A and B are shown apart, each in its own frame.
Chain A
């Protein structure tokens, strides 16, 4: 029997599935790319690899180059539109509940409310940070292979 051919086919399908699953992790906020009154920024893993050499150690306790290596994607969604902001906040609440994120930190100040959530998936982890200010709402999604210890290091000055 042609087992070699069969194994090759299985390997190809596995690779495709991996690509799809990596893609699936960031799709929750993809729709904001086409939305009016919303600024959407996407930085892919390939771009992060290219950008790694240009990273500077600007955050105490954090090795930027190492952080770039561990990141698979960065999504930044910002809006100052009332309707879009409401939608974005509802989306964050839904994603956090549906995908069972755990809250890492909550920072409430007079002019802003920050929520930092973390999800350690089987293949990759996600940090979701939402910032709600008086006139703007922003969501930053970091997807990568980092661990909770890497986040902990960021708080060590």
Chain B
């Protein structure tokens, strides 16, 4: 096997800027790898559209809050549960209430007219 002559190898000209390029490449390898989130982001349906993603995130947040509020304030107490199951009874009660309102309004108007005349 032929012996490698180191001195002969040293005589081979080194391309200009090779040392700098190699240093830069080594530095790049030494840097920490990119966040996995960024990698996933590229594969999202928005293809890197950060504004779209932010809007979707905000909309999802509002939706979750909306659903939460809806169920939190849903008619769980007796106060918003119909007293009557029968529409006829409900109708009679509502009419009675409206009639009472009309009677009192007319009483008030009569008192007013009496006071004016």
Contacts and interface: CB of A to CB of B under 8 A. Distances in A.
A29 B78 CA distance: 11
A96 to B, nearest CB: 16
B101 A127 contact: yes
Given A67-B98, A129-B101, A32 B55 contact: no
Residues of A in contact with B, size category = 35 or more
Given A140-B100, A154-B101, A33 B77 contact: yes
A86 interface: no
Contacts of A154: 101-102, 105-106
Contact of A1 (B52, B81, B94, B108): B52
Interface in B90-117: 90-91, 93-95, 97-102, 104-109, 111
Contacts of A9: 59-60, 62-63
Contacts of B104: 105, 107, 114, 116, 129, 131
Given A47-B84, A116-B105, A42 B73 contact: no
Interface residues of B, number: 45
A83 B29 CA distance: 80
Nearest to A13: B66
A51 B109 CA distance: 30
A44 B94 contact: no
A150 B81 CA distance: 27
Contacts of B80: 23, 26-27, 30, 42, 44
Contacts of B33: none
Contacts of A68: 91, 94
A40 B88 CA distance: 18
A17 to B, nearest CB: 7
Contacts of B59: 5-6, 9-10
B87 to A, nearest CB: 4
A81 interface: no
A44 B97 CA distance: 14
Contact of B56 (A2, A33, A42, A71): A2
A9 to B, nearest CB: 4
A41 interface: yes
Interface of B: 45-46, 49, 51-52, 55-56, 59-60, 62-63, 66-67, 69-70, 73, 75, 77-84, 87-88, 90-91, 93-95, 97-102, 104-109, 111
